[in-house]
Every structure is written in structure tokens, then in C-alpha cells.
Amino acid sequence: MKNVLITGATSGIGLKIAEVLERNNKVFLSGRRKLDKKNYFSCDLSDSLSCIDLVTKAREYFNSEIDILINCAGQYIYKPIEKMTKEEIDYLLNLNFKSAYILSSLVVDGMKKNNWGRIINIGSISGMVGEANATLYSATKAALGGLTKSLALEAAQNNITINQINPGWVKTPLVDNSLTEEEKKEVIDVTPQGRFIEPIEIAKLCEYLISDSAKGLTGQNINLCAGLSIGC
């Protein structure tokens, strides 16, 4: 049984990852919602100090180091680049990229001491192929991909793997409620497999990536996107 810290775990992808991994692991969760759970810490990870507080709380809960970190917290803003405000720019950079960088830096030392660890970053296909009117979101997810590859090299000799999953359109309540039926049809039309990714697919891939069966897989950006990254 491993100690797993999952950010952005109160809904959608993060929630499904938590549900799958807690079957065989000890899990500590974080999100922005207020929940009364012993294994949960409510915080805004766009604030660097909250990242430090989160790791402290998780270690107290486990009474040990963190074995597995899954950086799932993130935000999407769809807006032309000239319309982005300074506040939005700072927020997305801090939440989507800086928080993952800081959290990784805080947990990797313990992983090196234990000579075992796993970090999984949840990126986006937008960071791999680009997305008009989501330039900053795409840029933060692309930066996350760079972090994944570079940190994988740093940690490779310590039995630590770092990988990134880049989902395409995922069937979550947020997407369900934010897209019209016509927009959903457009998404399906441009996706080679003609469907949305289910959150369980991402959760099961996480389950594989933290297993010893995947110990040779590190520094990889895995596009779980129903073919969206290869064209339509």
C-alpha cells in the first residue's frame, strides 16, 4: 500500500482517479471545495504557500513520506489572447504549472530517500497540438510536459518515474454542462473515434503508471485523446 497525494480531486478526472486508487492505496486529497474529511485539505494551489501547507498536511496524515503525487488541479479559460487579464494570466500560470512544479519539488526528496516514487501530471491535448483562444491554457500544459521530461531525467536513477497524461475531450459534468448539444456534436465530429474520453480511462491509466509493471515508462507524454492528436 502506497501513500498517494491527488490534487483537484473533488470532481471530474481527479475524483475518478481518487476512487480507483483508494482501493489499494492510502490516499490524501485536495481541492477548493470545503469537505469535512480526514484525508482532505481544502486549498487554492495558485498560492505557493498552500502547496507547502498541503504537503505538510499529507505527511501528517500518512505519518510518512508521499510515495505518489498526481497533479490534477487545473483551470481552463477560453478567451482570445488580447482579452486575457493580468489576474487571469497569473492565476493560470500559478495553478496549472507552478503548483505542479512546487509540489514535485517538495515530494521528490522523500522519494529519492526511499528509492521509489511516482509522479503523474494531468496535462491536456491542447498542450501538445495547440488550441486557438486557449493560448495560455495550452502554454501551461506544454510547460508541464517539459517539467515531466526534465524531472524524469533527474530522478531516473532513484527508481522514480514521472509521466504525463494528456486527455482530449473528457466526459465530465463540467463539460456536459458547459457545452450545448450542437457543440458536443462538433467535438464528436472532429474526434477520430467519434466519442468523449471517460474519466475511468484516465484513472485506469494512472493505476497502471504507478504499478511496477510500468517501471520502465518515464518522461512520457501519453495522449489519451481518442485520436484527436493525430488529425481528423
**Catalytic, out of 40, 61, 101, 137:** 137
Architecture category of domain 3-169+199-223 in CATH: 3-Layer(aba) Sandwich (3.40)
pLDDT class of 173 with cuts at 50, 70, 90: confident
Instruction: Please give the pLDDT value at position 167.
Output: 97
Question: How open is the CA angle 204-205-211, to the nearest 5 degrees?
Answer: 95
Distance of CA 91 to the CA centre of its chain: 16
What rounded mean pLDDT belongs to the chain? 96
Instruction: Please give the pLDDT value at position 33.
Output: 94
40 is catalytic: no
pLDDT class of 232 with cuts at 50, 70, 90: low
- The percent of residues above 70 in pLDDT, for the chain, comes to 100
Instruction: Compute the average pLDDT of residues 167-172.
Output: 95
Instruction: Compute the average pLDDT of residues 80-87.
Output: 97
- In this prediction the pTM is 0.96
Give per-residue pLDDT as tens, 209-223: 999 999 999 999 999
Give per-residue pLDDT as tens, 175-201: 887 788 998 999 999 999 999 999 999
Instruction: Compute the average pLDDT of residues 118-135.
Output: 95
- Contact between 167 and 224 under an 8 Å Cβ cutoff? The reply is yes
Give per-residue pLDDT as tens, 10-21: 999 999 999 999
pLDDT value at 133 more than 80: yes
